[in-house]
Amino acid sequence: MLYERVVRQALRNPSAPAVTCDGETLTYEQLVRRADGLSDVLTTAGVRRGDVVGVLMRRSTDMITALLAILRAGAAYVGVDPDDPPQRRNDLLTDAGVEFVVADDPLREGVPGRFTTLSPSAVSRSSGAAVSTTGDDLAYVSFTSGSTGRPKGVMVPHRAVLRLITDMNWMDVRRDDVFLQAAPLAFDASTFEIWAPLAHGCHLVMAPSGRLTLEGVAETVREHGVTVLWLTAGLFHEMVAHDIGAFAGVRHLVAGGDVIQPGPVGRLLAAHPGITFTNGYGPTENTTFTTTWTTSAAAGDGLDTIPIGTPVNGTRIAVLDAELQPVEAGACGELYVSGAGLARGYLGQPGATADRFLPDPFSSEPGARMYRTGDIVRLRPDGACEFVGRVDDQVKILGHRVEPGAVETALHRLPGVSRTAVVVRTAADGAKRLVAYVVPEDVPPPHWGERLREQLRATLPAPLIPWAVLVRDTLPLTSNGKTDREALPVPDLTARNVPNEFVAPRTDVEHRLAGLWEGVLGVEPIGADDDFFDLGGHSLNATELLGAVRAEFGVTIPARVLYLQPTLSELGEQLETAMRSGAQR
């Protein structure tokens, strides 16, 4: 299916440039001829329709040739990242049931002998016919990293790719467009980057092989006049901050993979009024994009949030509550998706597939499935969705269900915030604490993190106020360009974390009281002017503290006294008053 689409372009315009990488360009005719030659090598070696063939290659024109050759043989490709540890690469190939691996010559040595390796430059003299495939045949397998458990190989059929790249309701592809290819093959953004241009006869320009850098992307975009590109949210934010001029010749910029911040989108549209911006959202299980939200300078003033938008053609969405009933407009629910973009399931994991691909009660097509995304979205009255957070990330803090994503959104609305990440940390005593990491747009004022924390109090309920707001120059990114939450530094959760200066306890009562606070809050040192609730106190440990006070001092302090006089010195005074009046009785 995909192969035939590319052949059609080669017949229509054989000398048009198809793919360029590191100074080498193949025309459509050359690309198809090379793919045919390699494809016959694969077939002769034993590759059959329905097989999954490994691709262990760096960005190159050969890589595109290899993909086309694999599809022509009726097989599906699975990209394995050359920068992954060998053990993980081999595990993925084994999990995918791979027998054949097309590998760059320098990488072939590292592939264990149980796999048959093939060189992408091999050419056959025979010329067999292309294996005919249907929309149900697999085009590729993409492994999702998943935060827990073993990686799952998402099996994507040709039909799902065609629904992504043809009859698009959110962008028009022009014959003279130049697309950038920068995402690792193992990441399903590459599906859009590679097959959208090749199916439409456009020019595919690859970022230099090797590690992807902001400079490398910017240089490729400028040098080759890239008009359409996809960037991870992280890279998009960085490029707007450091080299917004690189987008001068770009017609349509698509970003996604993580939450897009409104600030950079506004700056992009202001700097380049002719550009169209799309937020592309979607799980791998529904083939790259599920919903999109598109804006341009004409429409894009006063952006508050960047929604994930409305479904792409061939996809239906439902925002459902826990009873699988549609939520009302304006409410939050879990996003379920269905239609032609659905994957077949997880390779070799029937139980995991059945758990996520559920009977679709809303479809007119009997037996249809819907995929449970695990993403919580808000369905806006205008029909567009806003991303709220992951079901798995929801945590209970002080008995409240807390979405770290909601805290990120609130932080973004504060002036001077460029990027944020909010994570849940568990202190030694088991208490869960929200920790926010913030990157400023400019040099931040002193104690900026503490000020942001104070500003959040105006918009967020107490359980959503981060225990700490840490200011950083940058946030670590994964190889897929998402914020690497695992790599964020873990703060000292037992350190005193309040804006006021530390004043040592003065009286005997204050010293003894500070010892009780340390025990209840798991924080030290405690200062005389510190506020119990600023240090992480809440109604539950307030009760615990007052019990400890009764045991230590033999007096009962009502809870409202603590709420009205929450600092150590204030509570100390109340204690002394109470003890004096108790002694007089």
Partner 1 sequence: MVDIDEKVDYIVVLNGEEQYSILLADREIPAGWVAEGFRGPRQECLDHIDVVWTDMRPLSVRRRMEGN
Question: What proportions of the chain, in percent to the nearest 5, are helix, strand and coil?
Answer: 35, 25, 40
Residue closer to partner 1 (CB basis): 45 or 352: 352
Residue closer to partner 1 (CB basis): 354 or 504: 354
Q: Residue 25 burial (CB < 10 Å; 0-12/13-18/19+)?
A: middle
Closest by CA position to 55, among listed 139, 157, 136, 164: 139
Residue closer to partner 1 (CB basis): 224 or 369: 369
Q: Residue 430 burial (CB < 10 Å; 0-12/13-18/19+)?
A: exposed
Place of tokens 């077939």: 43
Measure the CA angle with vertex 77, ends 114 and 204; round to 5°. Answer: 135
Helix (H, G, I), strand (E, B) or coil at 400: strand
Give the DSSP H/E element, type plus range, for residue 456: helix 448-456
Q: What is the closest distance, in whole angstroms, from the C-beta atom of residue 96 to partner 1 in the complex?
A: 13
Q: What is the closest distance, in whole angstroms, from the C-beta atom of residue 144 to partner 1 in the complex?
A: 17
Residue closer to partner 1 (CB basis): 326 or 515: 326
Q: How far apart are CA 256 and CA 193, in angstroms?
A: 13
Residue closer to partner 1 (CB basis): 214 or 324: 324
Q: How far apart are CA 475 and CA 378, in angstroms?
A: 26
Q: What is the closest distance, in whole angstroms, from the C-beta atom of residue 89 to partner 1 in the complex?
A: 23
8 CA to centre of own chain? 35
Q: What is the closest distance, in whole angstroms, from the C-beta atom of residue 423 to partner 1 in the complex?
A: 22
Rama region for 351: left / alpha / beta (φ>0; ψ in -120 to 50; rest):
alpha
Measure the CA angle with vertex 408, ends 446 and 484; round to 5°. Answer: 95
Residue closer to partner 1 (CB basis): 334 or 534: 334
Q: What is the closest distance, in whole angstroms, from the C-beta atom of residue 358 to partner 1 in the complex?
A: 5
Q: What is the closest distance, in whole angstroms, from the C-beta atom of residue 321 to partner 1 in the complex?
A: 7
Distances (CA, A) of 64 to 70, 121, 343: 10, 12, 22
Q: What is the closest distance, in whole angstroms, from the C-beta atom of residue 393 to partner 1 in the complex?
A: 13
Q: How far apart are CA 333 and CA 213, in angstroms?
A: 37
| Interface positions with partner 1 (CB under 8 A) | 49-50, 134, 136-137, 155, 320-322, 324, 333-334, 344-345, 347-355, 357-361, 363, 365-369, 372, 391
Q: What is the closest distance, in whole angstroms, from the C-beta atom of residue 235 to partner 1 in the complex?
A: 32
Residue closer to partner 1 (CB basis): 388 or 435: 388
Q: What is the closest distance, in whole angstroms, from the C-beta atom of residue 331 to partner 1 in the complex?
A: 12
Give the DSSP H/E element, type plus range, for residue 248: none
Residue closer to partner 1 (CB basis): 323 or 473: 323
Residue closer to partner 1 (CB basis): 237 or 369: 369
